[in-house]
Amino acid sequence: MQSKRAEKNSPSMALMAVFLAYALVMGIIENRIPFDFFVPGVKLGLANVVILASIYLFPARDALKILLMKCLLTAIATGTGFSLLYSLSGGLLSFLAMVTLAGLPGNPLSPIGVSVIGAVAHNFGQILVASAVVGALSVMAYLPVLIVSGVVTGILVGVAAKGLLHLARRHARHVWKKPRKIL
């Protein structure tokens, strides 16, 4: 017999699993799409739609679990230890920035603004790791390009996440008692 707590958390856990599955599939698909013909190394960040929505819909620790599992499983499915290192460095810095901004009193930024800051933080985290791996600060010269691409992809991810948030709230109201308000 399930405990009351397990019964209460079952819808939320099931939705978290769906979000993780979506993030994993999007991460794998995006890894296969050669999007970097505009700017080498740049990706849209489709899986980040789910991570951003998770920050608004779940407690931060649960959203972090989705992020960590997405990074680990995507690296296992598509990459190497280096891909995990880059994914975690960018993902964790981005997560910290987005959780902080999404939790500010009065919600001064919409999910789109939070996404833009998160995308730039993600790129910054990855360029720091690249600089350490290569052993040269010259990699930082690529940062202005990554900031611009972060703003563009952050807007796209933010718009998609805002749409996902509205859909999720409409169709799964029973899962969240007090989700964060969005603009």
CA pair distance 44, 37, nearest whole angstrom: 12
CB 97 within 8 A of CB 77: no
d(CA 183, CA 59): 19
pLDDT above 60 (res 155): yes
> Is residue 96's pLDDT more than 90?
yes
Model confidence, pTM:
0.85
Average pLDDT over residues 101-126: 92
Question: Measuring CA to CA, how many Å separate 105 from each of 56, 101, 109?
Answer: 14, 9, 10
- Ordered structural domains, the chain, with CATH: 4-175 (1.10.1760.20)
Average confidence (pLDDT) over 104-111: 87
The C-alpha atoms of residue 157 and residue 147 are separated, in whole angstroms, by: 15
Confidence of residue 175 (pLDDT cuts 50, 70, 90): low
